[in-house]
Structure 1
Amino acid sequence: MTDMTDQIDHLFAAWAKLDSPGAAVAVMQDGEIVLKRGYGMANLDHDVPIEPSSIFHAASVSKQFTAMAVYMLAGEGKLTLEDDARSYIPQLPDLGFPITLRHLLHHTSGLRDQWDLLTLAGWRYSKDLITDDDVLRLVSRQRTLNFPPGARFLYCNTGYTLLAQVVQNVTGQSFRQFTTSRLFKALGMARTFFRDRHGEVIKGVAYGYHPCGEGFEAAPTNFETVGATSLLTTVEDLALWDANFYSGLVGGKSVFDQMHQRGVLNDGSLTGYGGGVGLGTYRGFNIVEHTGGDAGYRSDLMRFPEQGLSIAILSNLSSIDPPALARRIADIVLKPILPGQRENPRRVPTIDSMPQLELERLAGVYIDPEDGDQILHLHYGNGKLLGGAAAAKEQAFELEPMGSGHFRYILFPRTQILVEGDGALSLLVDDRPINRFVRLASYSCSPAELEEFVGTYRSPETGYEYDVVLYDGGLASRALKQLPQPMTVMAKDLFVEGRSRLRFRRDDKGVVAGLELNSERTRNFNLDRLPSE
């Protein structure tokens, strides 16, 4: 035990300081805490250290609690998972297809993500107050979906905000009241609740922070929206929650089984997500996991059900990576049984064993025009191949070769890339093809061509206006509450702004008439060009 503690302490040594935010950690075995630690400071202004009892904003770890609430109500006959969500949420418009509660639970609804919509409508994430009513008003203005419900999986916070509304409308209680009485009190989770009032004074809460120069800046949440997020909890309370999956005190086997059933798409294929939890593997072991990230907070709750091991990490610094740290803790605890239990038992060739020229040739920019102009950047350097959506190499993830023309992400081994004979790249998750990327040739615009795009654009789904302006030799978008956001030209009429893809559309005369925006969780969001004054 001392050796394990020392090794875990070493993992967090960089933050175990009096002048740094940090994290709380709990390791559980068979429902019992075997280690709990606090590293760094909960509040830098007042020199308050992090303890295992410190309260953190847990971000999307919230979703499993929301899912359990829905499954419990279904078990009590108060709703069914095949119910149309519109029967409970009058603000949800008719978008041409029934959207069931099951679609919302499994992220297969096709709804656009609330954080994308709020940003497009002018909210400054976690700076402007965001409420449930704000989300519902934006959802009520939507005219199209990302895709027909059940056609694919696309993580969507909106669905879980709507599920919390369903719980409220079915029970007549606030979501906070229902979850506190039915879940948290029943499990003895005395320091856990859904925060639905942003100005509430909370004793023992850890403040969120971003890195800033040589120090840190405060990065609190500013939410009054629950279900998808806003769970406040401690690692000690998460241990009680985890123990419930062994004892069955709340929910019971039927609810647990449903939470751990993978979503099913219209074509019969399975997703990697259950009800509020991700379902995957690590080093050949099954895991149940959910991560979270809002403002300065990062979190992870991971369970190895067959080994009885669980790890909870709650942090208050946005640069900390709890999922990676949880895996390193798992390596320490599971070390005695790791030999022969590799994720892929056959020998994986090292990156050095592949011809450098072959790897260098793969580097470049690829696009999937059939899926919202998704972009994949492959980078080569220092003998490594990395891939990601962003152009910055620092935001890409390392790939390891599985054989000639076959790669997988080291941190996300379920996601693989295959090089096809024509040079295209197939991206697969759990061996299921998701995207087909083709190499994008370099492209440039003359000053006269850039002028064609200058104008004001507005979407009827948000009412917020964006100006496209000439900026630093290129284009940028500008809006009331934001600094100019530079655009990078990728192809004719196609630009990238951060992680958003902007494809300008033209009328029958070839004049720019609007644009279509696609992002990680938004597809086919249209803005019309307003007439010049």
Structure 2
Amino acid sequence: MKQIVVFFLVLLLSSPAKSQNIKNGIEGLFSDWKKNNNPGGVVMVSHQNQIIFSEAYGLANIPYNIPNDKETVFGIGSMSKQFTAMGIVLLQLDGKLSVDDDIQKYLPEMHHFGKPITIRHLLHHTSGLRSSPELFGLAGWRDGDAITNEDAYRYLTKQTHLNFDPGSEYMYTNSGYILLAKIIENITKQDFKSWMKEKIFQPLHMNATFIEEDYSKIMTKIASSYTEIEPAVFITVEDFDLTYGASNVYSTCSDILKWSENFSRPSKEWQQAFTTLQTLDVLNSGKKNNYGFGVFVDDFIGNHRVQHSGAIAGFRSIMYAYPNDDLEIVILSNFTTNQLFKMADQISQLFLQNKSETVSTNTASINPIKTDANSLKKYEGMYWNDIDNYSRKIYFENDTLWYSRSNNKKSPLIPIAVNEFQMGGINEKLVLKFEKNTNKLNLISADNSVTTFEKFEDKAPTMEELKTYTGNFYSKELETSYKIFLKNGKLYGYHSRFGEFEIQVLKKDVLSWSGQAISKYKRNKKGAIIGLNVTMNRIRNLWFDKK
């Protein structure tokens, strides 16, 4: 009996001690947020239906010395997408739509791309639609230009090509969630922010959460957002992207915590909806896609996790929910220079066991075959990846064939079969296969994914060749023009909103626009240039006609 009493005394004493250690551990992660005259944020952690940690740091407004508190409102950026996804889920549960419907059923103005884009594609970021921020940038819109949903929809309806076939790839894009908001408005006949407040925020008692696309309004309790331009010197950051559906939800840490707890402990009437948000589907190839409906569904050190982050202006945000462990972590901040993922990961480790499988880092020994210098030298040259638009150099030096990257780092290529090499000096297995009788090189990863390169002639263009790249180029999809011209023996581009920028030739008919975009020229049967395709970030091959 005495031993049982002692056991329970130890248990009672150790539990508060462990709790305090966890609090101290979390507190230590945010010591930099306690500096004077600095912005900061709010951190909340809930475990097994108890708020374990709740603290506010720094200033919501530096000039007026207004501190952040637990009711301070922050912009949550792309974390907004899960609320838009919930709106779609509720409409499906009400029988108003199906996520497998073609979007043209609700958005008839959209171009028909040959293969249907479904609502499911929009939710999973697998539609192939070009990303709206990049479309605006390429069209000549600048930071500070106010961008609305109407502007985005106008450009999206003018698009006649996709980045890829629907369902074949995952590419994160705001465009799909802007269209989802439009679908919600078209079905409900209500404005998006009012419907979301009535159907989601109010029923879930998220009373401080709202959608706002009008920056001219004076709103209380909202933090100003900042970026640090030099140590301890901050300036405010304004964002004039007024689009909703993909962003522009404002909320408090406590409201987001209420929301995130529904992934672990939903009420009966919300259980199906929150489960549906975690729907995962595979790509057309069968490859896994871990983006559900507005949230990433993955694992951290072997623990099932639902998560999303956000960034808009100087605001940064992150939400982790571990449904099987009833653990929720929310961090909202009003400055750019922080490491929320790292902090959220470290908080997670204070609560979770490492359930991940131990993977041996020992790579299998490489068994090289004998070969001679002449056999190796035939592989030398520059190789171009036409999908991701970058080159690699293969060269022979000191009796070894080398694979050189753009950052000047290199790896030895060890011959293991005829036309086949394994890359040395790295912690993963990469095999290079040179195709016989072609100029192609296939880089094969451990998961059998293949990256293809093609050998090209690396020589500087003549002045006559540079002249062929000049001219005026117009995009119907963006309703904008670029002028390409020669000045002092160099190529330049010009846009009325950006001014001049230098252009570099990477290889024949492939040019870099100051590292911001890649243009690929197209020629007719006679060899004359008829236009060019531009690729940048989440835009692929947007066509410009030569005028």
Give yes or no for TM over 0.5. yes
**Residue in 2 aligned with 1:523?**
540
Query: Which of 302, 305, 311 is the matching residue for 2:329?
Result: 311
Q: Does 1:489 align with 2:505?
A: yes
* Paired residue secondary structure (1:139): helix
One of 114, 130, 134 as aligned partner of 2:151: 134
The amino acid of 2:208's aligned partner reads R
Deviation (angstroms), 1:167: 0.9
Cα offset for 1:293? 2.0
Residue 17 (structure 1) aligned with residue 74 (structure 2):
no
Q: What is the alpha-carbon distance in structure 2 between the residues aligned to residue 102 and residue 447 of structure 1?
A: 50
Percent identity, aligned pairs only? 31
Summarize the alignment of residues 39-50 of structure 1 with structure 2, pairs less than 5 Å apart.
39-50=57-68
The 1-side partners of 2:331 and 2:306 are apart by 14
**After the TM superposition, which residues 94-493 of structure 1 pair with which residues of structure 2 at under 5 Å, given as runs?**
94-125=112-143, 127-214=144-231, 215-249=233-267, 252-334=270-352, 337-338=353-354, 341=355, 343-348=356-361, 367-369=384-386, 371=387, 373=389, 418-422=430-434, 424-426=442-444, 431=447, 433=449, 435-436=451-452, 444-470=460-486, 474-493=490-509
The SS at the match of 1:247 is: coil
Residues 1:293 and 1:61: Cα distance change in structure 2 (over 3 Å): same
Contact (CA 8 Å) 2:264, 2:322: kept in 1 or not? no
Question: Matched residues in 1 for 2:534 and 2:494: separation?
Answer: 15
Rg bigger for which structure? Answer: 2
Check conservation: 1:425, 1:438, Cα contact below 8 A. no
| Counterpart contact for 1:471–1:486, Cα < 8 Å | no
Counterpart of 1:91? 109
Q: Which residue of 2 aligns with 1:358?
A: none
Question: What's the TM-score once normalised by structure 2's chain length?
Answer: 0.80
Change (3 A) 1:456 1:23: farther
Distance 1:483 1:297, change over 3 A: farther
Q: Which amino acid aligns with 1:130?
A: I
In 2, the alpha carbon distance for the partners of 1:9 and 1:327 equals: 14
Rounded to whole Å, the distance in 2 between the matches of 1:19 and 1:434 is: 51
8 A Cα contact 2:225 2:314, kept in partner: yes
Provide Cα deviations, 1:313-344, integer angstroms capped at 9, x if missing partner. Answer: 2222223232222112222333xx33xx3x44
CA distance in 2, matches of 1:331, 1:407: 28
- With over 3 angstroms needed to count, the CA separation of the structure-2 counterparts of 1:70 and 1:420, relative to structure 1, is same
Deviates more, 1:271-280 or 1:85-94: 85-94
Q: How far 1:66 moved relative to its partner?
A: 0.7
Which stretch has the larger CA shift, 203-212 or 75-84? 203-212
**DSSP-derived class of the 2:449 partner:** strand
Distance in 1 of aligned mates of 2:70 and 2:267: 24
Contact map agreement 1:372 1:519 (CA 8 A) in 2: no
Taking the TM superposition and a 5 Å limit, the aligned residue runs for 1:75-90 are: 75-90=93-108
Residue 290 of structure 1, CA deviation: 1.1
Alpha-carbon offset, residue 448 of structure 1 = 4.7
RMSD, aligned CA: 3.1
Amino acid at match of 2:227: H
Is the contact between residue 433 and residue 443 of structure 2 (CA under 8 Å) also seen in structure 1? no
Deviations 1:248-293 (A, max 9, x none): 2386332223211212323343311111111222222222111222
- CA separation of 1:261/1:504 partners in 2, compared to 1, >3 Å: closer, same or farther? same
In 2, Cα distance between equivalents of 1:302 and 1:285 = 11
Per the normalisation by structure 1, the TM-score is 0.81
Residues of 1 paired with 2:330 and 2:239: CA distance? 21
Whole-angstrom distance in 1 between the partners of 2:525 and 2:41: 57
Contact kept, 8 Å, 1:18 with 1:49, in 2: the verdict is no
Unaligned residue ranges in structure 1 (runs of 5+): 351-363, 378-388, 394-402, 409-415
Shift of 1:231: 0.9
